[in-house]
Structure 1
Amino acid sequence: MGFKWVCCLIFLALFFSCRSGKGKSDDKFVEVYGEVLLLSEKFSSDSLLLKAKVDSLLKSKKMSYQQFDSLSRVYSENPKRWVEFFDKVKRYIDEKSSNASRNR
């Protein structure tokens, strides 16, 4: 009986540690996606500069373009998850815009 409890506790610990990490990675991707949208708007007339800025952003966040693309596809394949994700991105952009306005 004691062994089963230990196994259950280990399983629960692993489950919750993975789950909390997912939230952190979701938050990181919300930030990265929001920044890419802002960069896309800012540098829409210069695709080479836009690519350089996005590459720099991804490098600073330790994310490859393939990871970015893959995560984008994962979210977009589930409409409910995409809506929730994009709501978070919108809030991130709104907060960033609001903070920039206050600092002027």
Structure 2
Amino acid sequence: MRRRLRAETQEPADAVLRLQPAELHDTAPFAPGGDRFVAELASPGLGACSFVLGPQGTPPPAWIVLDYADGQQRRWRRARRAGGRHFFTLAEDTASAGYVTTVA
């Protein structure tokens, strides 16, 4: 089976939401005004899920990327939607050795 390289799986820049660790929430935040989205970032092997409040006036992206100061990152891919919440699954993680290293 051939593994896909990151360059083969990248989305257009407008389909990616880039975050810093301080933008993650432990519980689902309230989305005031209805023009923001709440996303649940599933990281079952890393512990509890995290939540993100999307920027005002933007649709949910295909990917959410968490950038760390040391250049490491975690990448989640949009999986599904239930009610008002969008679910993302962890697809790549360079910040945790041995967990997820490539996009499947």
TM-score over 0.5 (shorter chain): no
Between Structure 1 and Structure 2, which shows a larger proportion of helix residues?
Answer: 1
Instruction: Give me the TM-score of the superposition, normalised by structure 1.
Output: 0.25
Question: Computing the radius of gyration over CA atoms, which structure comes out larger, 1 or 2?
Answer: 1
Instruction: Give me the TM-score of the superposition, normalised by structure 2.
Output: 0.25
